[in-house]
Amino acid sequence: MIRGVCFDMDGVLVDTEGLGGLVLGEAGARQGCTMTRAQCEALIGVTMKTTRELLKGWFPGIDTDRFVQDWYTLMLERVRRDGLPLKPHADETLRRLRRRGLKLALCTSNARKVVEEYLALAGWEDAFDRVITGDMVQNGKPAPDIYLLGARELGLEPSECLGVEDSVNGVKSVRAAGLRCVMIPDSLPYTPELALFVNTLLSDLSELEAMIDKER
């Protein structure tokens, strides 16, 4: 029986993947580094620790602290100015699941200061029972740490939870943690190779509640 849902944030609940890629490029350009699309995609769903490691490999001599700070600053400037874009049906889905008594966790690789501002902008300060961020775990996605912690913080077994993801690293993390994996593709498409990790493929969040009904 499904008693809890652990959501990724970027690309699942907030429509920031495209903007994030653009801002990554701008942050790199400030230090004379030209980031490829493949490099930007490799940073989707990973912690800032992993981001720093990858950047050092790609651009020897890059100031990773400055890069991360520039990325934070540019992202927050954009969403403060233009508003935080939500994924279709995100707000109503969270509220409906809460009303039904399901426990909800946010399990995002993003940094806490960014997550807190996003939640405030979306009006989701009380939407989740627990908020797990990348700086709370030793190993980032695709390791299972963040989803294991999410289930534990909800007081549930991993088998009692869904993990909702959009990225390759994300679905691998969910499956490794023993949660039932739901993928809603965003900037990266579903491919047959992901069938090893994805239990259920949905088109958007509006389909999630009916899918949970079948599992309950």
Q: What is residue 177's predicted lDDT score, i.e. its pLDDT? A: 98
Q: Is the distance from CB of 212 to CB of 192 less than 8 angstroms?
A: no
Query: What distances in angstroms separate CA 72 from CA 24, 26, 80, 94, 111, one per listed residue?
Result: 10, 11, 12, 26, 9
Domain at 4-15+85-215: CATH code? 3.40.50.1000
Q: What are the residue ranges spanned by the domains of the chain? A: 4-15+85-215, 17-82
Neighbour-count burial for 117-153, b at 16+ CB within 10 Å, e otherwise = bbbeebebeebbbbbbbbeebeebbbbbbbbbbbbeb
Tens digits of per-residue pLDDT, 43-99?
Answer: 876 777 888 999 999 999 999 999 989 988 999 999 999 999 999 999 999 999 999
Q: Is the distance from CB of 134 to CB of 110 less than 8 angstroms?
A: yes
The identity of residue 135, as a single letter, is D
Beta bridge partners of 105: 6, 130
Question: Model-level pTM?
Answer: 0.88
